[in-house]
Structure 1
Amino acid sequence: MTTSKKTVKKRSRKKKAKKITFKQRLLAFIWSFFWKSSLVFIALMVIAGIYFDKKIERRLEGSTWTLPAQVYARPLLLQPHQSVTKQALISELRMLNYRPVRTVQSAGQFAVQGDRVEIYRRAFDFPQGIAVKEKVIVTFVYNRITSIKNSAGENLATFKLDPLLLARLHSDQIEDRLFVPFEKIPDLFIDTLLLMEDRNYYHHQGISPFAILRAFMVNFKAGYTVQGGSTLTQQLAKNLFLTQERSLWRKFQEAYIALLMDYKYSKDKLLEVYLNEVYLAQNGKTGVYGIGLASDFYFARPINELRIEQIALLVAIIKGPSYYNPRRNPDRALTRRDLVLRLMVENGLINSNDYKYAVADALRLSARSALNKRANPAFISFLHREMKQQLPSSVRKQSGLSIFTSIDPLAQQHAEFAVENGLEKVDKNSQKLLQGAMVVTDRKYAELRAIVSGRDVKFSGFNRALDANRPIGSLVKPAVYLTALEAGYELNSVLNDKQIVLKNSTGQRWQPKNYDRKFRGEVTLEEALYKSLNVPTVNLGMQVGLSNVINTLHKLGVKEKIKAYPSLILGSVSLSPFQVAQMYQPITMQGRYRTLQMIRAITSIEGELLYQRHDRTEQRFSPQAVKKLTDTLHKVATEGTARSLRWRNKGQVFAGKTGTTNNLKDSWFVGFNAREVVTTWVGRDDNNSAKLTGSSGALVLFSTYMKQKK
């Protein structure tokens, strides 16, 4: 072979070698890019997984939400021989949203048959322990309980109803929520939810590829999004961690987080979180999250007491809380609810008979203000102050506190009506310039039962019951007479009722007069008090000594510094209605002092007792002296300045004291019966004359309150 031919063959082989080398290099490059990219992708996935995992742990480990504090009223305690009317018990049950039925079958129901009321109490976790569901029959004779028997026919010494939830305390940064643990969610609710939203929930790993593919095909054919492929786990991932943005990146994050959550937590745990997180309504500025609060918002009852049609409606709303809002779009919501009911019967969740009755029922929603109707700004204001005094900041800031108070919801309702209605009666000019306040306390336990701070009982502005310091007028006189009785004076001791002139340290003259401008010469101590005579009271006060009267006021609970001017004997000292209520508490408790409070106990979200009232009662005055005083205050209501109560409230027995200040600016009355002390003030915010005495103003509000107690 010639040299030239060999050279040609070598070049040919080199060209082939070069071609093979290029292909190999290309393949090598592609392979290198692939595995390096894969490594980078895997690394990014791992990093993203770690990041998402930490977010999931922070959110789902321990307390998932900062829950608002639950504020409860006092539970109604029933006992044989107790003076309680059947109607009062029924009113309490209705306030607690117990359902009247013919035959009591489940918790949250009651039936009335003649003089008997049958009740199926809900279970409740009290600070002292759990009260289980229990059925009892309460029998009445006239206005008194004669017996309480359980379902076994055994007589009970006491029976306590579950307390009314008055309010949820939350800041603007805390969503309103009522947490429901998984075990308390009705099975029918869960089965219906999964039927409508995610039938394979317990069989997929957080995402459903088939559902995603099906949704893609439907949306592709329609040309726009008509169906979603998200599982409940993906919806939860979006609700907890992501925005509502529609993008592939957001969908990727949603799916990835769903896979991680499904791997780390049980299906029941995730379902519990979902049902307590899902948005279901808007209540003013506050969103309604979770089925527990939504059940209260739409139906005013706990989730475990919902009827079939109510469960169907709540599940229907989950699909679109705005679109299927039953208050704004009732027809649309009803159609969706009926669809849910039809699928429930077709899939064997309910029988045909249940379906027939459920689908025939109307929506029957509670009032729009169901979540707001119980809260009263006056007692919420007092609650915050008491919590600040009694509890450290670390306890106050805990999530999900249960606060048990002494507020009596019926007394609160009656007090609100009394202030609104009573002011209408006494406002002679009908200009609505008069304002009023009322404080109702318990004689035995020194607890706040009700508080009203103004004519508009739901207004959360100036709290007159706590902060309106006004001269108390003749309300101070019992302190003067108690000082004298403690010093040895008797009710028949004689006092001068003659013109007197007193001079102060600067030489100014003060000439007190009786309200009727008359002098009686001499009167007994008892007559001077029940007729509220000024001149004999001033004489008595000067005799016992101003410093001693001031000391009595401090022992009664007045904390303000009081100057020793003779005018204080006629009430120049200024106090708020609540301070007056505290001042009269020892008088109504046989001379024993105890600070007026509202909080009974506070428990943590786990049920741990964090606070319980334990202050002691202190005997500060002689019981004998106090009895003489209260006997005379009873005469005030029968023969004295409050004698109009004899015809205003026939058959009711009271003691009390009227108070009127100079120029009729302030009208006061403190009245009490065997159970309650009611402090009432009427006046004007601009401090102009109310043109009312204690008997023509504040007493009318007291009378209106007590008429409702019959």
Structure 2
Amino acid sequence: MAKTTNKESNKQPAKKVAAKNPKTKRKTATRKPKKQPFKQRFLRGLWSVTWKSSLAFIAFIIICGIYFDKKIERRLDGSTWTLPATLYARPLVLDLDKPLTKSALVSELKLLNYRPVSIVQDVGQFAVKGKEVVIYRRAFDFPDRSEPAALAIVDFNEHGISRIRDNEYNHLRQFRLDPLLLDRLNSKHIQDRVFIPFEKIPDLFINTLLLMEDRDFYHHQGVSPFAILRAFIANFKAGRTVQGGSTLTQQLAKNLFLTQERSLWRKFQEAYMAVLMDHKYSKDKILEAYLNEVYLAQNGATGIYGIGLASDFYFARPIDELRVEQIALMVAIIKGPSYYNPRRNPERALARRDLVLRLMVENNYINTAQYRVAVNSHLNLSNAKALNHRANPAFVSLLNRELNSGVPTQVSRQSGLSIFTSISPLAQKNAEKAIQQGIKRVQHKDQNDLQGAMVVTDREYAEVRAIVSGKDVKFSGFNRALDAKRPIGSLVKPAVYLTALNNGYKLSDTLSDKKIILKNSSGQRWQPNNYDRKFRGEVSLEYALVHSLNVPTVNLGMQVGLNNVINSLHKMGVDEKIPAYPSLVLGSVPLSPFQVAQMYQPITMQGVYKPLTIIRSIMSKEGSPIFQRSQHARQIFSPESVEVLSDTLHKVTTEGTARSLRWRNPGQYFAGKTGTTNNLNDSWFVGFDNDEVVTTWVGKDNNRSAKLTGSSGALVLFSDYMKTKKGK
């Protein structure tokens, strides 16, 4: 027990000792930290927030820079714009061996927007002096080679071109003009644009633009602090926004990548992208992109972007042919395309243009004489609708069909193609005029619904020179030339007679012209009659064709075999299924004007078949040839048979159903064939001279009577076309 008591007594004092030991107390007790001063704590917190925010901001800037850089690179390093295909007519070749009148050459030059002057000094000008025409041709990249701007002096006599000389008076055999721009093939996904490379932009245009919009362009790094400060001061003094501080590089960034939203975030993106672009690309590259992107006008629902298209829209000529006052107006419009719209606000635009001209002369960009001429010039704008109605929808429709059927898909879908066609601007103009005016001449008072179509093709190359699908030549709806399939009447007869001639028949052989009644397999009776309801007993093949007799033709068709006639039609390019009924030899088969033109092509080419085409060649955006029309051809009839037939068709125009051409077109040599269908529903005529085949149809869309025969309707339109072609 004492032992136990001693242990207990020993424990108690130990606790007391521990409690009283100051060292033990310091170890076990919790000490409160001493508070730092407020300023020190604030600075430490501020520093923490600052460096973390700085790191976040730097990371944000880097990420934005990478994102913006990739975005800029994708746009400016590749194809900046998806360009429409450019559609060109055939170039007019001045040749000593081919007939061409002086009036026809002048008409072509006017269609090409060459400027008539008294003395030729610049590209795109021409002058007429008596029997001489002086031309300063534009440079052009033809499919076979590029040709520079060149001057030519063309002399004429009563037969056509007598001499061609260059500017050093060396004699030339040929001289080729640049082709007419017919249209640009746009779509919902492709904007109408004309890309102008930097080296082809006139120096005066660039210098004037920088003078007015960004004088320090070649010295700043995409953003100009001085311009921003200058704009701030000007706006502060005016109490409103009167001047902007954005550089052309910033404007390009906004146009290519941003919206018109007014916010600090958009301004940040604009400035950042401008700095990146300035660092990554040359000043010339940036200017090129800007001038091909800048908005300059509104054409209906379509914006006019880039100086190339704007030059066409405002002045109907290329940018390198603009006069001083036109360059000044274009630069003036850039400041505010709506505010300085020269068509809506001509006085405002004129005042701004004159301001630009004054600064140009003050900075020695032009001399005083140029300034005086320019400042006294009117705006001289082109027709605002010219850009919308340049091409005829009929040949654009034909072109699209040929692109879809005869051109590889990987070619037709490329951006910026140059498509060279066989369309002749003069032939197209004359054909449109013949249809529009001719319909008015032949229609009766109660026939306002009369329509017409015309296809003009080349005899030598089987090319389409012109195509018109109705009297409203700019209407893009139903294409009668391609899709209106109507019975062709007597136009089929040359195929029947050619089948016979190719199988040993002679024009002197006789045919029966007596009453006949034919029965088909089901017992139905058919009795053909001649147009005049007369019978002549026995007639020669030549007489029957010249006078378009029906009964002898039916007898001839039955003799040579209907299947042989059908086979001839198929070889001539008719791809329709044709039933072997006797009525087919009188033209019961329905065809479109274009199909008829194809059918007659072998007749005009010594029996050689070539498919009609409108596309000659296609060039890539880079100027490389990527498609050439096939020269596919085959002999389907003997040249001797075709020559005999052609001579007979000439007699049709002198003593047969088309003999009115003798007094309508005196002195002109033609061959041709009229066609009239039952109830005078359709009036047809196919005629040809030495170089062209013209297929003409007149009728009504509702298939009611046109009250016209082939000679009183379609032939009149053919005659009008040939008169215009000859310059009458």
CA distance in 2, matches of 1:285, 1:146: 50
1:398 pairs with 2:420: no
CA distance in 2, matches of 1:350, 1:607: 35
Q: Is the 8 A contact 1:424 1:430 kept in 2?
A: no
Instruction: Give 2:324's aligned residue.
Output: 308
- Counting only pairs closer than 5 Å after superposition, residues 195-234 of structure 1 correspond to structure 2 as 195-234=211-250
Instruction: Give 1:11's aligned residue.
Output: none
Instruction: Give 1:8's aligned residue.
Output: none
1:41 pairs with 28, 52, 57, which one?
A: 57
Instruction: Give 1:596's aligned residue.
Output: 612
Mean CA deviation greater in 391-400 or 175-184: 391-400
CA distance in 2, matches of 1:408, 1:541: 38
CA distance in 1, matches of 2:407, 2:680: 41
1:138 pairs with 128, 151, 154, which one?
A: 154
Instruction: Give 2:173's aligned residue.
Output: 157
Instruction: Give 2:290's aligned residue.
Output: 274
Mean CA deviation greater in 364-373 or 347-356: 364-373
Q: CA offset at residue 199 of structure 1?
A: 0.5
1:59 pairs with 63, 72, 75, which one?
A: 75
Instruction: Give 1:495's aligned residue.
Output: 511
CA distance in 1, matches of 2:241, 2:209: 22
Q: CA offset at residue 580 of structure 1?
A: 0.2
CA distance in 1, matches of 2:632, 2:148: 31
- Counting only pairs closer than 5 Å after superposition, residues 18-97 of structure 1 correspond to structure 2 as 21-97=37-113
Q: CA offset at residue 369 of structure 1?
A: 1.8
Aligned-pair identity in percent equals: 72
CA distance in 2, matches of 1:86, 1:224: 60
TM-score by length of 1: 0.97
Q: CA offset at residue 429 of structure 1?
A: 2.2
CA distance in 2, matches of 1:614, 1:595: 10
CA distance in 2, matches of 1:406, 1:181: 28
Q: CA offset at residue 18 of structure 1?
A: 5.4
1:459 pairs with 2:459: no
Instruction: Give 1:425's aligned residue.
Output: 441
1:357 pairs with 2:373: yes
Deviations 1:257-278 (A, max 9, x none): 1000000000000000000000
Deviations 1:636-686 (A, max 9, x none): 101000011111111111110000001111110000000100000011111
- Counting only pairs closer than 5 Å after superposition, residues 214-293 of structure 1 correspond to structure 2 as 214-293=230-309
Q: CA offset at residue 393 of structure 1?
A: 2.3
Q: CA offset at residue 221 of structure 1?
A: 3.9
Mean CA deviation greater in 212-221 or 27-36: 212-221
Instruction: Give 2:459's aligned residue.
Output: 443
- Counting only pairs closer than 5 Å after superposition, residues 603-614 of structure 1 correspond to structure 2 as 603-614=619-630
Q: Is the 8 A contact 1:491 1:524 kept in 2?
A: yes
Instruction: Give 1:9's aligned residue.
Output: none
Counterpart code for 1:132 = P
CA distance in 2, matches of 1:162, 1:662: 47
Instruction: Give 1:620's aligned residue.
Output: 636
2:395 pairs with 336, 354, 379, which one?
A: 379
Counterpart code for 1:616 = H
Instruction: Give 2:529's aligned residue.
Output: 513
CA distance in 1, matches of 2:134, 2:665: 32
Q: Is the 8 A contact 1:86 1:143 kept in 2?
A: no
Q: Is the 8 A contact 1:81 1:144 kept in 2?
A: no
Instruction: Give 1:636's aligned residue.
Output: 652
Instruction: Give 2:562's aligned residue.
Output: 546
1:705 pairs with 2:721: yes
Q: CA offset at residue 225 of structure 1?
A: 2.2
Instruction: Give 1:576's aligned residue.
Output: 592
Mean CA deviation greater in 172-181 or 389-398: 389-398
Counterpart code for 1:353 = A
The DSSP-based 3-state class of the residue aligned with 1:670 is strand
Q: CA offset at residue 299 of structure 1?
A: 0.6
CA distance in 1, matches of 2:207, 2:649: 65
Mean CA deviation greater in 224-233 or 540-549: 224-233
Instruction: Give 1:183's aligned residue.
Output: 199
Deviations 1:18-67 (A, max 9, x none): 57544322211111211111111111001001111111011101210000
Q: Is the 8 A contact 1:296 1:370 kept in 2?
A: no
Counterpart code for 1:623 = P
The DSSP-based 3-state class of the residue aligned with 2:189 is coil
Q: CA offset at residue 247 of structure 1?
A: 1.0
CA distance in 1, matches of 2:232, 2:132: 62
The DSSP-based 3-state class of the residue aligned with 1:176 is coil
1:128 pairs with 2:144: yes
Deviations 1:363-420 (A, max 9, x none): 1111112213321100010110000112232222211000000000110000001111
Mean CA deviation greater in 41-50 or 424-433: 424-433
CA distance in 1, matches of 2:570, 2:701: 27
The DSSP-based 3-state class of the residue aligned with 2:655 is coil
Instruction: Give 2:11's aligned residue.
Output: none
CA distance in 2, matches of 1:616, 1:249: 62
The DSSP-based 3-state class of the residue aligned with 1:451 is strand
Instruction: Answer with 1 or 2: which has the greater Rg.
Output: 2
The DSSP-based 3-state class of the residue aligned with 1:111 is strand
Deviations 1:168-202 (A, max 9, x none): 00112221110000000000000000000000000
Cα RMSD, aligned residues only? 1.1
CA distance in 1, matches of 2:367, 2:36: 75
Q: Is the 8 A contact 1:472 1:572 kept in 2?
A: yes
CA distance in 1, matches of 2:565, 2:447: 40
1:416 pairs with 424, 429, 432, which one?
A: 432
Instruction: Give 1:110's aligned residue.
Output: 126
Instruction: Give 1:695's aligned residue.
Output: 711
Q: CA offset at residue 476 of structure 1?
A: 0.3
Mean CA deviation greater in 93-102 or 437-446: 93-102
The DSSP-based 3-state class of the residue aligned with 1:449 is strand
Q: CA offset at residue 82 of structure 1?
A: 2.3
CA distance in 2, matches of 1:156, 1:432: 51
Instruction: Say how many residue pairs are matched.
Output: 694
The DSSP-based 3-state class of the residue aligned with 1:321 is coil
